[in-house]
Amino acid sequence: MSAHAPAATPAPVRRQGGFPIPLVGMLLFISSEVMFFGGLFATYFSARASFAGEWGPPPPAPELEFFPLPIPITIILLISSFTMHFGVRAIARGNSGRMRLWLLVTLGLGILFLIGQVIDYTTLGFGISDGVYGTVFYTLTGFHGAHVFGGVVGLTILAVRAGAGQFSARNHVAVEAVSYYWHFVDVVWIALFTTLYVLG
Amino acid sequence: MATTTLAPEGKAYTRSWVLDWLTTVDHKKIGVLYIVNSFVFFFFAGLLALVIRSELAVPGLQFVDESTFNQSFTMHGTLMIFLFIVPIFSGFGNYIVPLMLGAPDMAFPRINALSFWMLPLGGGLIVSGYLVGGAAAGGWTGYNPLTQENFSPGDGTDLWIMGLAVVGTASILGSVNFLTTIFKMRAPGMTLFRMPIFVWTVLVTQSLILLATPVITAALIALFIDRNYGGSFFDPSVGGDPVLWQHLFWFFGHPEVYIVILPALGVVSEVLPTFSRKPLFGYHAFVWATIGIGLLSFSVWAHHMFTTGVVFLPFFTFMTALIAIPTGVKMFNWLATLWRGSLVFTSAMLFGLGIVSMFLIGGISGVMLASAPVDFHLQDTYFVVAHLHYVFFGGAAMGVFAATYYWFPKMSGRLLNETLGKIHFAMLFVGFNATFFVQHMLGIQGMPRRVADYAADAGWTEMNLISTVGAFLIAASMVPFVVNVVTSLMNGPKSGDDPWEGNTLEWATTSPPPTYNFDSLPPIRSERPVFDLRHRDDPMFHPELAHATETSKGADR
């Protein structure tokens, strides 16, 4: 039709400003994860609201206890959020070696949390098929554990890449993205711990 | 028809075209893969629809038994919704959105390829139920306890759950990609309120996918645990609640309706202005109406559950009726766009007008169903089937064809045959209304959905026969469509860059576009940059210039 094309001006220089693209993607993904856990929490509260008997672990299993494991693994996961943050701060100053150290500490704490949760499972005295409480308890904590495991995988990849010297003060957006995810997993656990153990 | 001169593409190395398509991360090729994959599932799900309509043509069981019938309508619904209508708009979005934004590609090209390739995997899982003793048969809504182990013992239901979880995850990854692209990859000058309406509808659609799909994933996982690990989420005998499934399903399922229809409304809003030779009337109103529908869609889910007796009827009736307002705004946008336009009745335009009229009927029957007393009468009857097909087929699937006729020249560089396109439209339009309009009456007379047979003395035989004939007419209308596409791809006339005199940026590059999309971009000063470029010397569009000319004339005198 009209001979417009030759008159088009050259594309202006594309400047990548503002919030980095990978972090936008991670935040969007986390908002989706919020809705996923929202759905799982909805099953918990729905079951609890309509439960006829006394809500809690099905007898003869004992009530949930804070000790020996639930409180310590909660503290472990909380600390790991701080160590993750120290790692991001280290690389922001260009200290790759120190970041790798903090990443490995975070990784270790994450694995410790998972081991603690598995041991805790063996002491509960009820299973996933023992009534609706068992089902929602293991589904919620299990899917949270699966997300911690996902974070552990991400941290392992970061630690390997850090060993290969792939991060610098200017280029470490992957570390930040994983840190967002790790903090999110931590927040989910706080909500879960409050729901299951504190409110009962 | 100008042809943009482009730098020759580098031919550093060559590889087989099969490997090229399998490993591509180019948004345009992935878009085409989405579209082709969706049409394959459309074909299969369409055959299942013919199975359903053949069985219902006359009373009695002639062709299939009840079990096969149940599998047919379940797989028809599941495949049509999750593997045709949603992904095909992801395909058009994949192809067109970066072009409309003046971007070189999507934000995450490799995640884009991943979210496509999970679709054939998930669809394959769902369909593979047929190989292991019967596909899922609990309806596309998968209500409990129908889908529990004791009523659906086969592996087909487990494969259905797994396949849907895979498809859902794919669409979540896709939505992260779309939203990041729209937020971060716009060309300089392309502000949010200069984005084409189609991009706005994709933005709202993908936000709904991002926030609604995880909820159905959680529900599917719960159902899987119930079936396979002795869980009791939905088992009332040990404290579970079967209605919980309906809550979770429809919390996803109603936004899903808008996930399906909004991109089609976006297509209409590109097609009508182009072929009315006018800008879309009320751009901002349309954008806010789209956002409004998106927000409201999360507060209406329980209107699917009126007859459960556990939901607060007035609230959900009110919220549902409220959606008619932004939808009505859009209707007026379109009508005012057409008003006094120089209408060009291309095939794309005919399908666009088809959507406006058919979606209007679907919207009106939706408001009827939103009224609780009416819904109690019509729940689970053919009225609901008619309503949802006027939205999904008359709205969304017609949008697919409008989009195909509109963007095919851009994607292939070749024009489709307009005569065959009009024959396609006429057959589809008549067939569609013959199939589904009578189902309104059948529903009001009480014919239940999802039942393989009906009594010969119920008085439903004639209307069912009309419906079946209509369904075969729809199927026949696909013949001119396929012939058209194939012959055009083989030796159709060249389309040039901008066969329709479009308004948006995809018409400012070659057809098909090069891998990197644009050598140069026109200046983006409005929501119609290509229109502005075409008319940049027209004094009618520069009142200040016209005035200057007048003044200089005066000075000459």
* ipTM for this prediction: 0.90
Q: How far is CA B94 from the centre of its chain?
A: 13
User: Model-level pTM greater than 0.90?
Assistant: yes
Using the predicted structure, report yes or no on whether residue B540 has a pLDDT greater than 90.
no
Using the predicted structure, report yes or no on whether residue B7 has a pLDDT greater than 80.
no
Helix H or strand E encompassing A56: none
Q: How far is CA B105 from the centre of its chain?
A: 22
CA-nearest of B119, B262, B110 to B198 is: B262
DSSP A123: H
**Which residues are paired to B414 by β-bridges?**
B494
DSSP B505: G
| A19-64 pLDDT per residue, tens | 899 999 999 999 999 999 999 999 999 999 888 888 889 888 888 8
Per-residue pLDDT, averaged over A185-189, amounts to: 97
| B461-494 pLDDT per residue, tens | 999 999 999 999 999 999 999 999 999 999 999 9
Cis geometry, peptide bond prior to residue B145 (ω within 30 degrees of 0): yes
CA-nearest of B280, B276, B274, B267 to B498 is: B274
| B92-142 pLDDT per residue, tens | 999 999 999 999 999 999 999 999 999 999 999 999 999 998 899 999 999
Could you give the CA distance from residue B43 to residue A184 in angstroms, rounded to a whole number?
42
Segment B61-66 long-range contacts (CB within 8 Å, at least 24 positions apart): B61/B452, B61/B453, B64/B452, B65/B452, B66/B452, B66/B453
8 Å CB contact between B530 and B503:
yes
- pLDDT grade, residue B536 (50/70/90)? confident
Per-residue pLDDT, averaged over A180-200, amounts to: 94
* Residue B505 to residues B154, B195, B302, B337, Cα–Cα distance (Å): 51, 10, 41, 20
Position B556 scores a pLDDT of: 44
Position A72 scores a pLDDT of: 95
Position B133 scores a pLDDT of: 86
Position B487 scores a pLDDT of: 96
Q: Tell me the average pLDDT of chain B.
A: 92
Position B440 scores a pLDDT of: 96
Q: Which two tokens stand for residue A144?
A: 């949270």
B6 touches chain A (CB under 8 A): no
Position B208 scores a pLDDT of: 97
Name, in order, each residue with C-beta under 8 angstroms of B285's C-beta and a sequence gap of 6 or more: B329, B333
Position B285 scores a pLDDT of: 96
B235 touches chain A (CB under 8 A): yes
Per-residue pLDDT, averaged over B51-57, amounts to: 95
Residue labelled with tokens 């990978």: A22
Q: Give me the sign of the Cα torsion angle B323, B327, B332, B333.
A: positive
Could you give the CA distance from residue A120 to residue A62 in angstroms, rounded to a whole number?
13
Per-residue pLDDT, averaged over A68-91, amounts to: 95
Q: Give me the sign of the Cα torsion angle B429, B435, B441, B443.
A: negative
8 Å CB contact between B304 and B376:
no
- pLDDT grade, residue B552 (50/70/90)? very low
Position A32 scores a pLDDT of: 97
Q: How close, in Å, is residue B536 to chain A by CA atoms?
A: 9
8 Å CB contact between B91 and B142:
no
CA-nearest of B92, B68, B72 to B80 is: B72
| B401-437 pLDDT per residue, tens | 999 999 999 999 999 999 999 999 999 999 999 999 9
A132 and B222 within 8 Å at the Cβ level: the answer is: no
Residue type (1 letter), B189: G
Q: Which two tokens stand for residue B30?
A: 């992935």
A128 and B217 within 8 Å at the Cβ level: the answer is: no
B169 touches chain A (CB under 8 A): no
Per-residue pLDDT, averaged over A70-86, amounts to: 96
Name, in order, each residue with C-beta under 8 angstroms of A185's C-beta and a sequence gap of 6 or more: A77, A144, A147, A148, A150, A151
CA-nearest of B209, B102, B73 to B524 is: B102
pLDDT > 90 fraction of chain A, expressed in percent and rounded: 74
Could you give the CA distance from residue B438 to residue B434 in angstroms, rounded to a whole number?
7
Per-residue pLDDT, averaged over B269-289, amounts to: 95
Q: Which residue has the higher pLDDT, A64 or B350?
A: B350
Q: Which two tokens stand for residue A1?
A: 């039709």
Q: Tell me the average pLDDT of chain A.
A: 90
B2 and A3 within 8 Å at the Cβ level: the answer is: yes
Q: Which of A104-108, A115-119, B217-221, B526-530 has the lowest mean pLDDT?
A: B526-530
CA-nearest of B459, B460, B400 to B428 is: B400
SS (H, E, C) B112-172: HHHHHHHHHHHHHHHHHHHHHCCCCCCCCCCCCCCCCCCCCCCHHHHHHHHHHHHHHHHHH
Using the predicted structure, report yes or no on whether residue B3 has a pLDDT greater than 80.
no
**Which residues are paired to B520 by β-bridges?**
A10
Per-residue pLDDT, averaged over B295-313, amounts to: 92
Position B237 scores a pLDDT of: 86
Could you give the CA distance from residue B325 to residue B320 in angstroms, rounded to a whole number?
10
Per-residue pLDDT, averaged over B238-249, amounts to: 92
Using a CB-CB cut-off of 8 Å, the residues of chain B touching A6 are 2, 4-5
Could you give the CA distance from residue B498 to residue A189 in angstroms, rounded to a whole number?
55
Position A17 scores a pLDDT of: 67
Position B5 scores a pLDDT of: 56
Position B357 scores a pLDDT of: 95
Size of interface A-B (CB pairs under 8 A): 165
Per-residue pLDDT, averaged over B321-350, amounts to: 95
Q: How far is CA B217 from the centre of its chain?
A: 21
- CB nearest to B179's CB, from A1, A28, A38: A28
Using the predicted structure, report yes or no on whether residue A10 has a pLDDT greater than 60.
no
| A120-165 pLDDT per residue, tens | 999 998 999 988 999 999 999 999 999 999 999 999 999 999 999 9
* Residue B244 to residues A47, A54, B24, B336, B455, Cα–Cα distance (Å): 9, 20, 42, 44, 34
* Residue B395 to residues B260, B363, B427, Cα–Cα distance (Å): 9, 10, 16
Q: How close, in Å, is residue B4 to chain A by CA atoms?
A: 6
B533 touches chain A (CB under 8 A): yes
* Residue A125 to residues A64, A138, B207, B328, Cα–Cα distance (Å): 10, 12, 42, 58
Task: Describe the crossing of helices A21-49 and B155-184 by its angle, rounded to 10 degrees.
Answer: 140
Q: Which residue has the higher pLDDT, B375 or B544?
A: B375
Q: How close, in Å, is residue A177 to chain B by CA atoms?
A: 14
Q: Which two tokens stand for residue A81?
A: 């959020």
Could you give the CA distance from residue A106 to residue A119 in angstroms, rounded to a whole number?
20
Position B160 scores a pLDDT of: 96
- pLDDT grade, residue B554 (50/70/90)? very low
